[in-house]
Amino acid sequence: MTTSPGIPADAGVSSAVRHALGWLVFGNSAGLYLAMLLLYPSLQLADWTYGRWVPVHLNVQLYGWTSLPLVAWLLSIYEVDRSRVSRWAPAAVWAWSAALALGVYHWLGGVTSGKIFLDWKGGALWALMAALVILWFVLAAAWQNRSAGWNKRRRLAALAGLIGLALVPASLILTSSPATYPPVDRTTGGPTGSSLLGSALVVVGLMLLLPRLAAKVRDGRDRPPSGPCEWKEDSGSCGYQTASNDRDSSTLHSPDRCGERSLPFLKKIPGIWIFFGVSWIVFGVTEAIGGTHHDVHQIGAMLFLLPWVWWLPRDGSHFDWPEGSRSWRMAMFAWWGLLVVSGLWMYQPGVLDRLKFTQGLVAHSHLAMAGFTTSFCALLLVLLTGRRMGGAVSVVVWHVAALAMIVTLTVMGWGEGAGPAWMSAQPAWRELGLVVRALSGGLMLAVSLLWLHERRRL
């Protein structure tokens, strides 16, 4: 079975990419508007207040810009675009965007669960559930249609993935409920070190999977029998040319197909997976114990992230990554290192006590989203589509703007942490910081518009 006639061979993935970039533009616009509101509160639009735009900004970045590349990844892994249901792949992406748009409508209407990043309630919550169910059925239909041609291990892994994905709607309903709340560090009112470890381990897992499902093992031992994989520069696609003339295997293997040969690679370096498992056990134990950032076991839990600063780039170096991915890969690892190291520093007693509730933690959120997550998503999009994500200038401008914003907010947070008087006693410095923040946001918005424009005809 090949792609349905009349639509592009990667309609689902490219649709998800365009939607993701569209949401990035929208999220950045909302962020810039929020930055402007802090400078000029009179710009507030009647009922669409600052407090209602904040969840729009946060959730659009998370469920639009960050999640849709992952949706694209799923579509690629399950080969939806080459299945009998390929025409439904863009429809599933549209359903996702519709749910997010309804979310925006609800958040601007003041309908909120009050749970940051899990802000789904009422009609918006059920709209997202519907979108998740639609996506699941599309993936399941593609699995049913395509898995006969996969080896047994891949078929079972994909089935396990489907079973896991089937649990997502229920878990989202549970976690977004106002009745549930994660463990709290009673000295700060914020998350515990173990909670931070747990959420970071999810990211570590994705970073471990990324090269295995989307890049090529460097030593070539696991290459497919049908022929060598090569980067197709002239076609502008990321994939591997093989010798056969059969359509499924002759043209461009999408990167996910390269994952078929990467699973044996797990056996070669078990240490990384053992440590990954141990980290999860540490998370479970310390989460059950609870505690504060003054407790050794909570700081110790956070320390389990430190080896990943070195280990993930090291692990990635075992793979051949497609051309055009280098800048985003380097950026991703650099931001990741900065994220972990600064996170550890901020978690220390005395530091967290000073930075909690200040711009310093806002800076760290932007480090996570604008720095690391954007680099991860951009790398993923490069791997999935085989096209570069932005020219050198736009990539550099993005990172410089993000860094300027992060440094500025960190400095402001440090000053503010000395006492709330800083906010009112230093209006000039505060406003200067907010101006830098707004300018950085403006640059990032311009860059995201450029990226969207570049992908318009993908």
Partner 1 sequence: MVEGAVPMNGVALRAAVAVAAVYGFFLIFAQFSFVELLRSGGASLTMEKTALGIMAAAGIAGGFLAAWRGVTPVMVRIALGVAALTSSLAPFASAMPGALGVAAATGAALGVATVGLSALAPAWCGVAWVGVGTGLGYACCNFPAVFQQSPAGQAWIGAGFAVVGMLAVPARTEWRAMEHRKVIPLWGALAMFTALVWLDSAAFFIIQHSEDLRSGTWGEPMLWRNAAVHLVLACVAGFWLASGGARALPGVAWVLLAVAALAVNGESTRGLAGWFYPAGVSLYSAALVAWPGWFSGVNGVRPAAWRAAWLFAVAGWFGSANGIGMAQTLKQVPPVFVAGAGAVVIGVMVLSDIKHWRAALTVAVVALVAAFSQGTESPSPSSAMERGRRVYLSEGCIHCHSQYVRPGSPDEAIWGPARGVEEVLKGEPVLIGNRRQGPDLTNVGARRSEAWLKVHFLNPRELAPDSAMPSYAHLFDDGRGQDLVRYLKESGVSATASLMAESARWKPVGSGLGSDGKSLFGSHCAACHGALGRGHGPLSWHLARPPANLSKGPFIWSAAGENLDLRIARVIKFGIPGTDMPGHETLLDRDVLALKDYVLGFRH
Q: How far is the CB of 241 from partner 1 (least distance, A)?
A: 30
Structure tokens at 64: 């639009």
* Phi, psi for 216 (deg, rounded to 5): -125, 135
Nearer to partner 1, 275 or 357 (CB): 357
Q: How far is the CB of 53 from partner 1 (least distance, A)?
A: 8
Nearer to partner 1, 115 or 387 (CB): 115
Q: How far is the CB of 289 from partner 1 (least distance, A)?
A: 16
Nearer to partner 1, 42 or 245 (CB): 42
DSSP 8-state code for residue 237: B
d(CA 112, CA 52): 9
Closest to 346 in 3D by CA, of 308, 404, 299:
299
Q: How far is the CB of 320 from partner 1 (least distance, A)?
A: 36
Nearer to partner 1, 135 or 252 (CB): 135
Q: How far is the CB of 383 from partner 1 (least distance, A)?
A: 25
Nearer to partner 1, 127 or 299 (CB): 127
Q: How far is the CB of 316 from partner 1 (least distance, A)?
A: 32
Q: How far is the CB of 231 from partner 1 (least distance, A)?
A: 30
Structure tokens at 439: 């300018």
Nearer to partner 1, 39 or 341 (CB): 39
DSSP 8-state code for residue 191: E
Provide the CB-side half-sphere exposure for 141 (13 A, CA). Answer: 17
d(CA 21, CA 31): 15
d(CA 44, CA 37): 7
Nearer to partner 1, 117 or 275 (CB): 117
Q: How far is the CB of 302 from partner 1 (least distance, A)?
A: 18
Burial (Cβ within 10 Å: 0-12, 13-18, ≥19) of residue 47: exposed
Nearer to partner 1, 20 or 134 (CB): 134
Q: How far is the CB of 175 from partner 1 (least distance, A)?
A: 12
Nearer to partner 1, 128 or 447 (CB): 128
d(CA 241, CA 233): 11
Query: Mapping DSSP to helix (H, G, I), strand (E, B) and coil, where does residue 320 land?
Result: strand
Strands of 294-423, DSSP E? 319-320
Q: Are 129 and 165 in contact (CB under 8 A)?
A: no
Q: 143-181 burial, b if ≥16 CB within 10 A, otherwise e?
A: bebbbeebeeebeeebeeebeebeeebeebeeebeeeee
- Phi/psi region, residue 220 (left: phi>0; alpha: psi -120 to 50; beta: rest), is left
Q: How far is the CB of 200 from partner 1 (least distance, A)?
A: 17
d(CA 196, CA 303): 11
Nearer to partner 1, 126 or 150 (CB): 126
d(CA 195, CA 347): 12
d(CA 61, CA 24): 6
d(CA 95, CA 387): 25
